[in-house]
Chain A
Amino acid sequence: MTILLVDDNPDDRELTLRELKRHNHRNVVIVRDGVEALEHILGAGQTPQLVLLDLHMPRLSGLEVLRRLRADARTRELPVVILTSSDNPQDRRDAESFGASFLHKPLNFAEFAKVTGRSCRMMAAAAP
């Protein structure tokens, strides 16, 4: 599975990547903020199979990225997992209203596997 990891914090990027690699996810592309994420996905048309998306980022927030992904026919159904350290319940509500899963940092692989299993099944069910 190709995963696009979007996070502005280098420590978090490294720790998340380490956790993914430890569980045999080797196909991870990293970008450093929302603008780069959209360029990668919509601009270059390199749609990953899953986006692991931080929320609070400079330039373009994760929520805005999510909104634009949902507005584009190519990525409307793309599985997105929000990975944040936000305690604000509004952030979770926002993420879920766009059909994204919501996880707290640091990435816990068991939780990750659970939500990705769910969203990938939903994807398969939605596929024509």
Chain B
Amino acid sequence: MPEEKVNILLVDDDPKKLLALESVLADLNQNLVRARSGEEALRCLLQNDFAVILLDVKMPGMDGLETAALIRQRERSARASIIFVTSAYREDVHALKGYSAGAVDYITTPIVPKILKAKVAVFVELYGKTLEVERQAEQLRGLHQEMESFSYSVSHDLRAPLRAISGFSQALAEDSADKLDQAGRHYLERILAGAQQMGQLIDALLALSRMTRGEMRRKPVDLSKLARTVCAQLREREPQRQVEVVIADGLAVSGDPGMLRAAVDNLLGNAWKFTSRREQARVEFGSTRAGEQTAYFVRDNGVGFDMAHAGRLFGAFQRLHRAEEFPGTGVGLATVQRIVHRHGGRVWAEGAPDKGATFYFTLGNGT
């Protein structure tokens, strides 16, 4: 694919210097546009997008730095890199850095053609890459949107036959139970349970897809408080169970509150579930160091797992236990993994059969 030419803006009040710049940059084979003042440069920017702007610092009227500040205020020229041309190094050219995708650099006069050419070439490349990344991001947003409406249609359409199965089974149980013998009533129960399980699967899949796309907003989140809320709800659901819960205090992170809630829900829910056969069940939530980062963990003394299967834990629909032993959809840990990845973190597990399990996660640089 032949690369499209990009625009380079040369700004200098001295026509001789403009000519010199032009002759140096001619063999980069891009569109060179000349401006004799800051005002003229700004006018050019209204009409075209530029990859690189070479800006003479000392100009009568609006000088290079003022011009650059105005350029940076405009969203359209945010991607353009600015190279100041100055007779001496000036600290203040860097004041503009860090505000946009485009870089800021300077070159001193007298200009060394090789250096100028190399700098401009690098920034032209940066511009191309920036555009490419933006294109890809745009494409990804489109795909996410498509994926979202796809998953909503799938769940909608899957629920319709399911509703018929459970609805009519329910009707049969209510209206004609007396005409059924014990085996018939048992079959009916199994149909209803199956339909219910499938409903939960659809819910879990939707949750998984919701975690994949959609906006993520980082806010301060108190993981300790979150964990206490989740555990209180688990207790409420099964008040007969004796579970020792230990939650470390002050686990403050930055993350998307809804997503972190779903992750903690899943991890603590698992710990709760897989300790259901323990007389002395114990669930712990805390933090530890993992290299440079803080890792948060959920530890339980439940049935554990064989490390040989650790790789399968986070795959969707992967289950290490039969549904009769421990109910579940097999989507929970896949959801946790997506959430953690979206935060730029990592999730992993340690365990041994009958020796409990520990699930660790980090939350990337936001914490």
Q: Which residues of A contact B (CB under 8 A)?
A: 9, 11-12, 15, 18, 56, 85-88, 105-106
Contacts and interface: CB of A to CB of B under 8 A. Distances in A.
Given A18-B171, A87-B206, A11 B163 contact: yes
A105 B163 contact: yes
A87 B160 contact: no
B207 to A, nearest CB: 10
Interface of B: 149, 152, 155-156, 159-161, 163-164, 166-168, 171, 206
Question: Chain A's interface: helix, strand, loop or mixed, by majority?
Answer: loop
A53 B149 CA distance: 21
14 contacts: A9-B160, A11-B161, A12-B160, A12-B164, A15-B163, A15-B167, A15-B168, A18-B171, A85-B156, A85-B163, A86-B156, A87-B155, A105-B159, A106-B167
Given A85-B163, A86-B152, 7 more contacts: A9-B160, A12-B163, A12-B164, A85-B156, A88-B156, A105-B163, A106-B166
Contact of B160 (A11, A18, A88): A11
A7 B57 CA distance: 71
Contacts of B163: 11-12, 15, 85, 105-106
Nearest to A104: B159
Contacts of B149: 88
Contacts of B171: 15, 18
Contacts of A9: 160
Contacts of B160: 9, 11-12, 85
5 closest cross-chain pairs (CB), A and B: A11-B164, A15-B167, A85-B159, A88-B152, A87-B155
Contacts of A87: 152, 155-156, 206
Contacts of A56: 156
B245 to A, nearest CB: 32
Nearest to A55: B156
A81 B352 CA distance: 53
A105 B158 CA distance: 13
A110 to B, nearest CB: 15
Contacts of A11: 160-161, 163-164, 167-168
A106 B164 CA distance: 9
Contacts of B159: 85, 105
Contacts of B164: 11-12, 15
A15 to B, nearest CB: 4
Contacts of A15: 163-164, 167-168, 171
A56 B152 CA distance: 12
A86 B149 CA distance: 11
A85 B157 CA distance: 9
B112 to A, nearest CB: 59
A55 to B, nearest CB: 9
Contacts of A12: 160, 163-164
A114 B155 CA distance: 27
A86 B158 CA distance: 11
A18 B155 CA distance: 24
Contacts of B167: 11, 15, 106
A113 B361 CA distance: 45
